[in-house]
């Protein structure tokens, strides 16, 4: 955001409480997130950011920055006190491919390296950068905002025409202005416990009786080990480090005493024997972090002289890796708002629309994730719910690549009149104490996603393995208002083959 503001000609200061490099959570990118990063790099002439949009380019041009290869989303379903069962993969697995090859694959961002590189780019553009700066107050004035705090050994006061808060969960500005929080709809209270590890073994190597070939190596992905009331993530980096942690309802977190850190992690693994085998010889390389309240939403997203990035406006859950695309959508919108509307009469109106869109996207995401939590003991329902996300995301990515972003109607198609209404109905049905009959539930999901399915999610013969195929996009050209030739040109621009796989 600071780089964009600088490119637009604003006098920009980036204020950091800590210093880089440092550990931070939030690591798994997605096709839509990478596309948004690519659009930003192109629109604002940031060539040193462009290589980070794909695994292949990253490894060729910036191999010194640690990252992980992400070919898709992998889900395994577990029950407490039972070894993982793979007799019927449909009952216990879901693999959704995001790329047909490594070269254009997504990535896990090793944030100490990734964020430090971004800070270096910020400084190279001439942005004023102050780290180890503690802000203590903010006051709205008629012509801007006055911030006060201190740097090492000296007080600090800044007057700014406009302030953007990118400080993350329960960040500075909302607290300083006393705006408070509100609950997210449909989402149970959740907690998280996580760390980085070395020597984590492979889970997929321990699975036998595979009846079909997975669409990608299963652990070149965001791996989700789902169990009743929670899930464990496993993200592998190319430096031997693995990010792993658990997010769960309060009930599960209190049962295993997540607040005790490493002991809570061990108690959980004792009840999940197949996952425990993966971590038998693993060692945490940093202390565990316990987050006692994971989700949040700010009461207000913007004022006349300030705005929150989506990451500071709210957070739902690491499940489905929604944080990066939500925040990058916000960066894109605020950048264009500043470029097109700054110091114009409609600036406040457009800023209010930004705030409304940010809240709507967070709340739509919250309803879906809440339904997923409610279904973690019913994997057949859980799998169907994820298809709502994958269908909407792949559709949105496709129309953006075709230059038709207006067809996407917001994240998770939250402004599409029929899709979002049907999504909400399906999520409510998944949360009912007497759930809808499985076949009927599946049909409801299929009917909802069919007009937007450009990746074969309505083809039940593929369950539980959904590869990323160019042929699906070619066959779906009418759904995105394109010709077959336009799709082939888009595939060529993306580095995808236009035939076969």
More confident residue, 143 or 345: 345
Choose among 375, 379, 385, 321: nearest CA to 73.
321
Q: 130 has which bridge partners?
A: 15
Q: Which of 207-211, 319-323, 372-376, 415-419 has the lowest mean pLDDT?
A: 207-211
Q: What pLDDT digit, counting tens, does each position of 349-362 carry?
A: 999 999 999 999 99
Question: pLDDT tier at 501 (50, 70, 90 boundaries)?
Answer: very low
Cβ-contact 201, 334 below 8 angstroms:
no
**pLDDT at 498 (0 to 100):** 43
Give the domain range for residue 269: 68-108+188-294
Which residue's structure tokens are 């792949």?
A: 394
Asked whether residue 497 carries a pLDDT value surpassing 70, the answer given is: no
Q: Which of 27-41, 170-184, 249-263, 394-408 has the lowest mean pLDDT?
A: 170-184
**268: in domain:** yes
**226: in domain:** yes
Asked whether residue 500 carries a pLDDT value surpassing 50, the answer given is: no
Q: What pLDDT digit, counting tens, does each position of 378-399 carry?
A: 999 999 999 999 999 999 999 9
> Is 112 exposed, middle or buried, given 0-12, 13-18 or 19+ CB atoms closer than 10 A?
middle
Q: Where are the alpha helices (DSSP H) in 71-110?
A: 89-92
Q: What pLDDT digit, counting tens, does each position of 453-481 carry?
A: 999 999 999 999 999 999 999 999 999 99
* Total domains in the fold of the chain: 1
**85: in domain:** yes
**pLDDT at 499 (0 to 100):** 41
Q: What is the mean pLDDT of residues 92-107?
A: 96
Please give the Cα distance from 247 to 266 (Å, whole number): 14
279 by DSSP, 3-state: which? coil
Asked whether residue 431 carries a pLDDT value surpassing 60, the answer given is: yes
Which residue's structure tokens are 């539930």?
A: 441
Q: What is the mean pLDDT of residues 85-114?
A: 94
Choose among 417, 427, 289, 298: nearest CA to 359.
298
**pLDDT at 208 (0 to 100):** 65
Please give the Cα distance from 326 to 169 (Å, whole number): 14
**274: in domain:** yes
Q: What is the mean pLDDT of residues 41-67?
A: 98
**487: in domain:** no
Question: Which residues have CB under 8 Å from 145's CB, separation 6+?
Answer: 138, 139, 159, 160, 162, 163, 305, 306
**197: in domain:** yes
**87: in domain:** yes
Asked whether residue 199 carries a pLDDT value surpassing 80, the answer given is: yes
Half-sphere exposure for 259 (CA within 13 Å, toward CB): 6
Q: 97 has which bridge partners?
A: 72
> Is 179 exposed, middle or buried, given 0-12, 13-18 or 19+ CB atoms closer than 10 A?
middle
Which CATH number is 274's domain given? 3.30.9.100
**pLDDT at 471 (0 to 100):** 95
Q: What is the mean pLDDT of residues 296-304?
A: 95
**pLDDT at 171 (0 to 100):** 82
Question: pLDDT tier at 449 (50, 70, 90 boundaries)?
Answer: very high
468 by DSSP, 3-state: which? coil
- What percent of the chain shows pLDDT beyond 70? 98
Please state, as a whole number, how many other Cβ atoms lie within 10 Å of the Cβ of residue 340. Answer: 11
For the chain, give the mean pLDDT: 95
Q: Which of 58-62, 167-171, 238-242, 383-387 has the lowest mean pLDDT?
A: 167-171
Asked whether residue 226 carries a pLDDT value surpassing 80, the answer given is: yes
**pLDDT at 8 (0 to 100):** 98
Asked whether residue 404 carries a pLDDT value surpassing 70, the answer given is: yes
**208: in domain:** yes
DSSP 103: T
DSSP 202: P
Which residue's structure tokens are 């793979």?
A: 86
């Amino acid at each position: 955001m600071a780089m964009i503001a600088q490119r637009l000609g604003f006098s920009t200061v980036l204020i950091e409480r800590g210093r880089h490099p440092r550990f931070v959570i939030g690591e798994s990118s997605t096709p839509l997130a990478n596309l948004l990063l690519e659009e930003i790099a192109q629109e604002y002439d940031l060539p040193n950011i462009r290589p980070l949009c794909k695994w292949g380019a990253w490894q060729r041009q910036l191999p010194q920055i640690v990252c992980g290869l992400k070919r898709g989303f992998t889900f395994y379903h577990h029950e407490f006190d039972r070894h993982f069962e793979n007799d019927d993969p449909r009952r216990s697995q879901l693999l959704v491919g995001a790329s047909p090859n490594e070269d254009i694959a997504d990535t896990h961002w090793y944030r100490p390296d990734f964020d430090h590189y971004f800070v270096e780019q910020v400084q190279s553009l001439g942005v004023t950068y102050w780290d180890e700066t503690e802000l203590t107050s903010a006051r709205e004035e008629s012509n801007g905002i006055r911030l006060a705090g201190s740097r090492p050994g000296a007080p600090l006061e800044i007057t700014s025409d406009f302030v953007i808060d990118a400080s993350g969960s329960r960040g500075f500005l909302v607290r300083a202005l006393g705006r408070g929080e509100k609950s997210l709809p449909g989402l149970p209270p959740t907690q998280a416990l996580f760390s980085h590890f070395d020597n984590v073994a492979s889970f997929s190597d321990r699975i036998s009786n595979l009846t079909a070939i997975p669409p990608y190596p299963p652990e070149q992905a965001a791996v989700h080990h789902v169990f009743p009331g929670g899930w464990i993530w496993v993200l592998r980096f190319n430096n031997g480090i693995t990010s792993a942690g658990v997010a769960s309802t309060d009930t599960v977190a209190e049962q295993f005493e997540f607040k005790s850190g490493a002991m809570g992690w061990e108690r959980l693994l004792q009840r999940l024997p197949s996952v425990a085998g993966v971590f038998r010889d693993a060692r945490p390389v940093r202390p565990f972090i316990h987050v006692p309240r994971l989700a949040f939403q700010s009461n207000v997203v913007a004022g006349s002289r300030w705005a929150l990035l989506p990451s500071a406006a709210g957070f739902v859950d690491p499940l489905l890796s929604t944080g990066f695309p939500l925040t990058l959508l916000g960066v894109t919108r605020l950048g264009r708002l500043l470029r097109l509307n700054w110091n114009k009469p409609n600036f406040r109106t457009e800023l209010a629309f930004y705030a409304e869109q940010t809240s709507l996207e967070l709340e739509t995401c919250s309803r879906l994730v809440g339904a997923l939590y409610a279904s973690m003991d019913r994997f057949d329902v859980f799998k169907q719910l994820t298809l709502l996300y994958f269908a909407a995301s792949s559709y949105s990515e496709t129309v953006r690549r075709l230059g038709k972003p207006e067809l996407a109607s917001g994240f998770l198609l939250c402004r599409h009149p029929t899709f979002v209404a049907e999504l909400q109905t399906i999520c409510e049905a998944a949360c009912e104490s007497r759930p809808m009959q499985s076949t009927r539930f599946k049909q409801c999901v299929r009917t909802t996603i069919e007009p937007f399915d450009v990746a074969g999610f309505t083809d039940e013969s593929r369950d539980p393995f959904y590869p990323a195929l160019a042929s699906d996009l070619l066959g779906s050209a009418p759904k995105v208002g394109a010709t077959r030739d336009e799709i082939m040109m888009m595939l060529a621009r993306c580095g995808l083959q236009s035939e076969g796989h």
